[in-house]
Amino acid sequence: MFYSRIAGTGSYLPEKILTNQALESKVQTNDEWIYSRTGIKQRHVAAEGQLTSDLAFEAASRALEAAHCTAADVDLIIVATTTPDMVFPSCACILQHKLGATRAAAFDLQAVCSGFIYALSTADQFIRSGNFRKILVVGAEILTRLIDWSDRSTCVLFGDGAGAVLLEQSTLPGILSSHLHADGSYAPILSVPGNLRNGLYEGGAYLQMEGNAVFKFAVKVLGEVSEEALSANHLDKSALDWLIPHQANIRIIQATAKKLSLPMDKVICTVDLHANTSAASIPLALDCAVRDGRVRKGQLVLLEGVGGGFTWGGVLVRM
């Protein structure tokens, strides 16, 4: 019987930091409003010319180094992203070339802010089936390029970044279980509706969102999927060492923790410094907590995400 385990983590944030104060000169907003409603203080923004695959490359290289692997060891690369470099080839193929991971198969997976959870679950299936032994799972986004910088209700919420894990075959679990869900009827509350047609970009090019509806939906499903993951493994809430949720809004995170009766000092929060980096947010938070020594080998960690689609899911991991 094969299991998968996280052998190494890595992440990358672009150099440029955009603070709430700096946003005050772009739109009618202020630090107090943004921080009290969202918990966000700042976000990182990719440099002109920097591509999602560049961010993914840095995060993936660090994950490989942490796992004591080389690119040549990798069997498969999955990149979760909503902001690939181009329509095709996939960001994963571009990353494969940049890394020199010549043996690796590669594809992108698009589930917006749940993308990393979907990708990690997919990688786990490939390892459990015995098809692959080492898989790079990356969440990478330049979401700030889908933002209308004159819309204060959305532009304050997002940032850019990338996170990665090297998942490898193991005789011990690792990933205990994963739980994926979707409901396409909620598409209207969060979308970028446009597309390329006949050489032109048609439809809305910017992210549009009904903030209140998204907020309520996120709190509901994150609570449900936490219970689902624990009960599938016959575990009590008290068994959890850490919750690492998608980093969209501190109030969503606090409400989820409350449902799990989990004190906030058992929740990894990076939303203050990173804002919402969509598919990158969970692996970024995981890598921060691994590198600062909070998340340690043997601990039980629940990763969970929710995002456009709507999609949501959770992965329970023994580190």
DSSP string, 49-95: T--HHHHHHHHHHHHHHHTT--GGG-SEEEEE-SS-SSSSS-HHHHH
- Shortest distance in whole angstroms from residue 259 CB to ligand ACO: 16
Question: Under the criterion CB under 6 A, does residue 110 sit at the interface with ligand ACO?
Answer: no
258-297 residues near ligand ACO, rule: CB under 6 A:
276
Please answer whether residues 142 and 51 qualify as being in contact, where contact means their C-beta atoms are separated by less than 8 angstroms: yes
- Is 246 catalytic? The answer is yes
Specify the residue, 37 or 128, whose C-beta has the smaller distance to ligand ACO.
Answer: 37
243-262 residues near ligand ACO, rule: CB under 6 A:
246, 248-249
Active-site residue (options: 91, 113, 269, 288): 113
- Measuring CA to CA, which residue among 123, 73, 114 is closest to residue 283? 114
CA distance 38 to 102: 42
Specify the residue, 209 or 260, whose C-beta has the smaller distance to ligand ACO.
Answer: 209
Residues 185-191: contacts with CB under 8 Å, at least 24 apart: 186/217, 186/309, 186/310, 187/308, 187/309, 187/310, 189/213, 189/214, 189/217, 189/310, 190/112, 190/214, 190/307, 190/308, 190/310, 191/308
Among 18, 51, 74, 157, the residue binding ligand ACO under the rule CB under 6 A is 157
Active-site residue (options: 20, 91, 249, 276): 276
- Is 113 catalytic? The answer is yes
Question: Under the criterion CB under 6 A, does residue 29 sit at the interface with ligand ACO?
Answer: yes
Active-site residue (options: 20, 91, 179, 246): 246
Among 215, 237, 241, 294, the residue binding ligand ACO under the rule CB under 6 A is 215
Residues that bind ligand ACO (CB under 6 A): 29, 33-34, 37-38, 113, 152-153, 156-157, 190, 209, 211-212, 214-215, 218, 246, 248-249, 276, 306-307
Q: Which residues are catalytic?
A: 113, 246, 276
